[in-house]
Structures are given as C-alpha cells and as structure tokens.
Structure 1
Amino acid sequence: MAVVAVWKCDRDGAMFDNKKDAEEHDKMLELAANITALIERNVEGVSEEASEEIGLMLAKRREVLAKACKGKPEELLAAEEVSEQQEAETAEENVTPLAVNQ
C-alpha cells in the first residue's frame, strides 16, 4: 500500500498534493474573506451570499485586478474572455465517454 501526502485547507476542505498550492489557496480564501467583510461593511443592501461571491471572484483574479489598478483597466475584460475559453475547454476535457457493451 502506498502512502500519499496531501494537504487539506481548513477553510474549505480542499485537498492538495503539495504544500505550496495549499498555502496559495488558503491565502486566496483569506483575501476573499477580507474583501467580503469590506463589502458587507461599506455597501448596504448586498446579501451575504452576493458579497461572498464577489469577494471570491475578486480574490481569484487578484493579479489581473492589480494590473488594472496600475493603469491597465482593459486587462480585466481581456482576462475574463480568456477565463471563459479555458473553462469551456476544461469542461470538455473532464467529460468521460460512456463505455458501450461492458
């Protein structure tokens, strides 16, 4: 029997096969939580669910958001188009063909 080391994120239970990826994911979730708290404190009428979704979306796109804040606002929309294409390609790759006559 083989032993496989995995790292589990306490915040959401996500599992990773290396410490670096686990720590990066944890930092992203911490940023998302802080953005969520900022939204909830400063924007009236936003539901908790909506503010969490916004916080997570901004945290996942933090590199592109930083570029936009440094004078390249077009990066936000360009990154969104690339992200949509990658998600579509990934969805196609994750489809397992059905086995016939097994």
Structure 2
Amino acid sequence: MAVVAVWKCDRDGAMFDNKKDAEEHDKMLELAANITSLIERHVDGLSEAMGEEIGLLLAKRREVLAKACKGKPEALLEEDEAPVQRNDEMSSHEGSVTPLAANL
C-alpha cells in the first residue's frame, strides 16, 4: 500500500497533489468570497447563487481583470483559453485534484 500526500482546501474540500496549487485555489476562493460580499452589499435584488457565480468568475479571471483595469479593457473581450467552470461544475475540480482510489 502506497502513502500519497494530498492537500485539502478547507473552503470547498478540493484536494490537490501539491501545496502550491492548494494554496492558490484557497486564495482564489477567498477573493471570490470577498468579491461576492462586495457585490451583495451594493447590488439589490441579486440572488446569492448569482452573486457567488459572479464572484468566482471575477476571481478566476483576476489577471485579465487587472490588465483591463490598467488600461487594456479589450483584454476582457478576448476568448478564454479554457472556459470558466460554473458553480454546479466546481465539485469536480478536474485537472488539479489527485484522484483517490483503493488499490485492488
């Protein structure tokens, strides 16, 4: 039986095979939560789910958003290399999660 080290994000339970990716994911989720809080305080009538989705979108696209804020607004209109996952797709965390399975 092999022992595999994994890092688990306590915010959403996502598991990663290295600490750097886990910390990056956790920071992104913290930013998303703070953006969501900001939006919910300033936009009346927005559902909680929609606020969370917007927060995650902006947090995941933070580099492009920063570029746009620094004078390149067209950066927001450029095609994504990979589409941003919606809330209902977030549970899979494809590509960054170490699959855990028993060796049979």
Query: Which of the five TM-score ranges fits, normalised by the shorter chain?
Result: 0.7 to 0.9
C-alpha separation in 2, matches of 1:16 and 1:76: 29
* Structure-1 residue corresponding to 2:48: 48
> In the TM superposition, what is the alpha-carbon distance from 1:79 to its structure 2 partner?
3.9
Q: Secondary structure at the match of 1:3?
A: coil
Structure 2: tracts of 5 or more residues without a match: 86-104
Structure 1: gaps of 5 or more residues: 88-102
User: Residue type of the partner of 1:83?
Assistant: A
- 1:79-98 map, 5 Å: 79-80=79-80, 82-84=81-83
- Identity percentage of aligned residues: 81
Structure with higher RCO (Cα < 8 A, 6+ apart): 2
Show the 5 A alignment for 1:3-82: 3-80=3-80, 82=81
Structure 2 residue aligned with 1:2: 2
Cα deviation for residue 64 of structure 1 reads 0.5
RMSD: 1.3
- The 4+ residue runs of structure 1 with deviation greater than 2 A are none
Q: Deviations over 1:51-100 (max 9, x none)?
A: 000000000000000000001111111143x334xx9xxxxxxxxxxxxx
Q: TM-score, normalised by structure 1?
A: 0.78
Q: Take 1:10 and 1:50, find their aligned partners in 2: how far apart are those partners? A: 22
| Count of matched residue positions in the alignment of Structure 1 and Structure 2 | 84
Separation of aligned partners in 2, 1:31 and 1:67: 17
SS of equivalent to 2:71: coil
Contact 1:64–1:79 (Cα < 8 Å) also in 2: no
